[in-house]
Amino acid sequence: MGFERTIEEINEKIRSGKVVVVTAEEIIQMAERDGYDNTFKKVDVVTTGTFGPMCSSGAFINFGHSDPPIKMQKVWLNDVPAYGGIAAVDVYIGATELSETKGFEYGGAHVIEDLISDKPVKLKAISYVTDCYPRREIETYINRKMLNQAYLFNPRNAYQNYVVAVNTSDRTIYTYMGILFPKMANATYCSAGQLSPLINDPFYDTIGIGTKIFLGGAQGFIVWEGTQHAPSVARNERGIPIGGAGTIAVIGDLKTMSRRYIRAAVFERYGVSIYIGLGIPIPILNEKIFKNVLVRDEDIHVPVIDYSVGRRKRPVLGIVNYKQLRSGSITIRGKEIKTAPISSYKMAREIAQELKTWILNGKFFLTNYVHPLPKEQNVKSLDINTIDDLEVEV
Amino acid sequence: MKRDVKGKNQKDVFTKRVMLTFSRRLVSKPVMYRLIKEYDIAINILFAKVLPNETGKLVVEFSSTDEKKIQKGFSFLKSLGVKIEPISKEIIRDEENCIDCGACTSVCRSQALSIDKETFELIFDSNRCVLCEMCIHACPMRAISITF
């Protein structure tokens, strides 16, 4: 089938109200019901969604200047340190930064959630005095309406696949994958699977820098490859990476986001993280792209990793797929293990539906990317070096 | 309360699930033994925290074909000073704040918490809950609490 579409044609159909949009889950049933060819010709856009903890997230904020002005050197928002080593009243608040008074129970993620909830947030800053900035300290309250700019800038979101976590040791361990009981009594996983954005476009044919996305209930953009973007990991016969692979850096206006899709999280004895609601529309430009969005949970393989090994490289105990994981149990080394998700499939579904509604209602138009994501790349690791190790011999 | 118990024709079996709090003094006494032997009650201990010289906590399911026997057993426990509390509403899920992620289901050994396979919503079956409280710690939204 040589049939093709362009994004311009799709946007014209959005404008005229004729666009056909379904979610990445719905298209599987549709292709079964209406046939492969019919579905390919009919569907213009497939929407994806995910709602899971994404630690590598945070917000840039500009407060505006006080009178007299201050160069905010050290800054706290609700007692959570924010980074002020940029211009006088610009800061970055990272999601995992911990409160200096509440520890693990409150962090940067909670500050972000409170701002999105229109709650007042206490701003405290101290500084050195200069001719430009005579004020030494400030303490005041802010909310998101009063800010000049407040936008999420998340260096790594929407991991393309991830891992299954188990614990083979004799004690309970507390991880960002939840509480793991000894002797592999439970296993946790964290991906929207067949609804997940980068799983549905495994080679980044349509998803790239400049792609407009759903981020936290607002419209956002992909601005770069995500940190640790690693498209070169081993892939299965469908081209789906077996384990964490591609990632994206994203940006979006915190001022128009909704608390429903951005939620602070506490992982017991681990720390603070943030659940990010993210959805990406995939334009069905050609048959290859269409084939890829038909991916099902059973086509997505994921390694089972022993989190009791506190090393960079942890043992892989087996490979399973998301259909098995969602069934409630997997069998590893002859042992049946109860499985549970960490990310919300229900919310992933809702996000894909919401994005679909936006497109159908003409509120969201698709973009061509302005630059592709890297398609070959591995993650580097950090070694302990002396300066001599790095001296280049001429 | 009348409840079906798996595996038998249970039309006439009465069950009651309660939390028992024992004083330190009572922990060393064979209270359960007497309930079984003298009051003829089938006892299923679902959760127990009993340590020497500490207040003990038990979550117990009492079953009998005669509801009066259970009531007599309760009277006996009360006479010893054991605190008896019904447990069905103890764990509270804050539905406003729950995101249906399912992290709590990973630590729920009694399968009181589960994710519906169609809707992917979190389901809480209080009848299965043994009040281990693990879900409170496992919930990333801090949306689960216990009423004490």
Helices (H), chain A: 7-16, 26-34, 36-42, 108-116, 197-200, 287-293, 322-327, 345-360
Percent of chain A with pLDDT over 90: 97
Q: How many helices (H) and strands (E) does chain B have?
A: 3, 8
Pairwise CB contact (< 8 Å): A326 & B117: yes
- Asked if B140 has any chain A CB less than 8 Å from its own CB, the reply is yes
For chain A, the distance separating the N- and C-terminal CA atoms, rounded to the nearest angstrom, is: 56
Pairwise CB contact (< 8 Å): A341 & B121: no
Half-sphere exposure of residue B62: CA atoms within 13 angstroms, side-chain side: 27
B61, B46 contact by CB (below 8 A): yes
pLDDT greater at residue B49 or residue A107: A107
Class of domain B91-146 (CATH, top level):
alpha beta
State the pLDDT at residue B4: 42
pLDDT greater at residue B91 or residue B3: B91
Helices (H), B8-117: 31-39, 67-80
In B, minimum Cα distance to A262 occurs at B99
pLDDT digits (tens, 9 = 90+) for A316-356: 999 999 999 999 999 999 999 999 999 999 999 999 999 99
A304, A166 contact by CB (below 8 A): yes
Q: Spell out which residues of chain B touch residue A104, defining contact as CB-CB under 8 Å.
A: none
A44, A276 contact by CB (below 8 A): no
pLDDT of A394 higher than 80: no
- Asked if B141 has any chain A CB less than 8 Å from its own CB, the reply is yes
- Asked if B142 has any chain A CB less than 8 Å from its own CB, the reply is yes
Q: What is the ipTM of this complex?
A: 0.94
pLDDT digits (tens, 9 = 90+) for A77-116: 999 999 999 999 999 999 999 999 999 999 999 999 999 9
SS3 A236: coil
Q: Spell out which residues of chain A touch residue B140, defining contact as CB-CB under 8 Å.
A: 53, 265-267, 273, 275, 342
Alpha carbons A204 and A231: distance in angstroms, whole number: 9
State the pLDDT at residue B2: 37
- Asked if B105 has any chain A CB less than 8 Å from its own CB, the reply is yes
Mean predicted confidence (pLDDT) in A259-283: 98
Cβ of A39: how many Cβ atoms within 10 Å?
22
Residue A101: which residues within 8 A CB-CB, separation 6 or more?
A79
Mean predicted confidence (pLDDT) in B65-84: 91
Mean per-residue pLDDT of chain A:
97
SS3 B63: strand
Alpha carbons B120 and B114: distance in angstroms, whole number: 9
State the pLDDT at residue A217: 98
pLDDT of B88 higher than 60: no
DSSP string for residues in A181-219: -GGG-EEEE---GGG-HHHHSTT-SS-EET-EEEETTEE
Peptide bond into A68 cis (omega under 30): yes
- Asked if B137 has any chain A CB less than 8 Å from its own CB, the reply is yes
Beta-bridge mates of residue B86: B18
SS3 A252: strand
Mean predicted confidence (pLDDT) in B11-23: 82
Pairwise CB contact (< 8 Å): A342 & B102: yes
Q: Which fold has domain B14-86?
A: Alpha-Beta Plaits (3.30.70)
Query: A-contacting residues of B 44-83, CB under 8 Å?
Result: none
Backbone angles phi, psi at A129, to 5 degrees: -100, 135
State the pLDDT at residue B1: 34
SS3 A228: coil
Which of A344, A345, A347 to mutate: most B Cβ within 10 Å?
A344
Nearest-neighbour CA in chain B from A340: distance (Å): 5
State the pLDDT at residue B5: 41
Alpha carbons A254 and A258: distance in angstroms, whole number: 8
pLDDT of A236 higher than 90: yes
Catalytic residues of A: 132
What are the distances in angstroms from CA A207 to CA A173, A222, A283, B31?
Answer: 36, 8, 9, 66
State the pLDDT at residue B11: 56
**Two tokens at A195?**
């609804």
Alpha carbons A50 and A246: distance in angstroms, whole number: 15
A163, A313 contact by CB (below 8 A): no
State the pLDDT at residue B132: 86
pLDDT of B10 higher than 70: no
- Asked if A142 has any chain B CB less than 8 Å from its own CB, the reply is no
Every domain of chain B and the residues it spans? 14-86, 91-146
A229, A214 contact by CB (below 8 A): no
Q: Spell out which residues of chain A touch residue B120, defining contact as CB-CB under 8 Å.
A: 344-346, 349
- Asked if A304 has any chain B CB less than 8 Å from its own CB, the reply is no
pLDDT of B25 higher than 80: yes
pLDDT digits (tens, 9 = 90+) for A131-170: 999 999 999 999 999 999 999 999 999 999 999 999 999 9
A62, A88 contact by CB (below 8 A): no
Percent of chain A with pLDDT over 70: 99
Nearest-neighbour CA in chain B from A346: distance (Å): 5
**Band of the pLDDT at B137, cuts 50, 70, 90?**
very high
State the pLDDT at residue B148: 59
Q: Spell out which residues of chain A touch residue B94, defining contact as CB-CB under 8 Å.
A: none
DSSP string for residues in A304-333: EEETTS-SSS--EEEEEEHHHHHHTEEEET
Q: Phi-psi bin for A95: left (phi > 0), alpha (psi -120 to 50), beta? A: alpha
Pairwise CB contact (< 8 Å): B120 & A345: yes
pLDDT of B37 higher than 50: yes
Nearest Cα to Cα of residue A194 among A295, A290, A279: A295
Q: What is the largest CA-CA distance in chain B?
A: 50
Nearest-neighbour CA in chain B from A355: distance (Å): 18
State the pLDDT at residue B16: 84
Alpha carbons A343 and A239: distance in angstroms, whole number: 23
In B, minimum Cα distance to A272 occurs at B140
